[in-house]
């Protein structure tokens, strides 16, 4: 008996590979950036209105579960006919554009939830495993599902944006570590 798939053609092999590689890259990159940092280095703030390395990781551990839940809701809502108004390059650019700094909201600024790096990084990595397994195995047509109320992206692009959001904060961590007052140990 043949199963009928209502969600479209599924994800292309190329789209699947691109998501997997980007998710793996940002997960490993984050771990590399924080490995071996002392408590003084993890908690150094380059300015009163800037986050520390620990707070950046905590933010990712707080925000990504919400992004994942929103993604799953959009996929479960079923396919839509809308076309994304953003390109994949727009989503990738978001991850590297550190020119414009924005304030976080929506509860994602509650970085005090993780006073230690270890639990934040562990929660981040645990959810990454879940997301990677989904990307590896899903037959959902993520390009055929719009994301968000304005439907400016498709669900594939939203998954990529989750990873580029991490990349953005990894680059923020690198900026913190490059500050001339960053503790030597």
Domain coordinates of the chain in residue numbers? Answer: 13-98+106-178
Residues 147-165 have pLDDT tens digits of 866 567 889 999 999 999 9
Instruction: Give the model's confidence band at 4: pLDDT under 50 very low, under 70 low, under 90 confident, else very high.
Output: very low
Q: Please give the pLDDT value at position 102.
A: 65
| DSSP state at residue 151 | -
Q: Is the dihedral of CA 31, 61, 100, 38 positive or negative?
A: negative
Please report which confidence band the pLDDT of residue 122 belongs to, taking 50, 70 and 90 as the band edges: very high
Tell me the per-residue pLDDT of 49-72, one tens digit each, with 9 for 90 and over: 899 999 999 999 999 999 999 999
**149 is written with which tokens?**
């109320």
Question: Apex CA 73: angle with CA 67 and CA 74, to 5°?
Answer: 90
- pTM here is 0.87
- Among the residues of the chain, which ranges form H helices? 13-34, 39-43, 53-76, 88-96, 117-137, 155-178
Fold assignment, 13-98+106-178: 1.20.120
- Report in angstroms the alpha-carbon separations of 138 from 46, 62, 148, 150: 42, 25, 20, 25
């Amino acid at each position: 008996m043949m199963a009928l798939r209502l969600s479209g053609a599924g994800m292309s092999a190329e789209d699947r590979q691109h998501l997997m590689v980007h998710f793996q890259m940002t997960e490993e990159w984050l771990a590399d950036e924080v490995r071996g940092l002392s408590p003084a280095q993890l908690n150094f703030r380059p300015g009163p209105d800037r986050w520390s390395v620990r707070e950046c990781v905590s933010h990712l551990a707080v925000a990504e579960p919400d992004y994942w839940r929103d993604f799953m809701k959009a996929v479960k809502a079923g396919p839509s006919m809308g076309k994304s108004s953003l390109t994949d390059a727009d989503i990738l650019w978001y991850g590297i554009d550190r020119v414009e700094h924005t304030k976080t909201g929506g509860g994602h600024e509650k970085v005090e939830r993780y006073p230690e790096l270890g639990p934040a990084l562990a929660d981040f990595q645990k959810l990454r495993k879940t997301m990677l397994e989904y990307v590896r195995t899903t037959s959902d047509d993520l390009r055929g599902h719009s994301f968000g109320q304005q439907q400016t992206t498709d669900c594939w692009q939203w998954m990529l944006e989750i990873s580029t959001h991490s990349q953005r904060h990894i680059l923020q961590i690198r900026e913190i570590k490059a500050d001339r007052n960053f503790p030597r140990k």
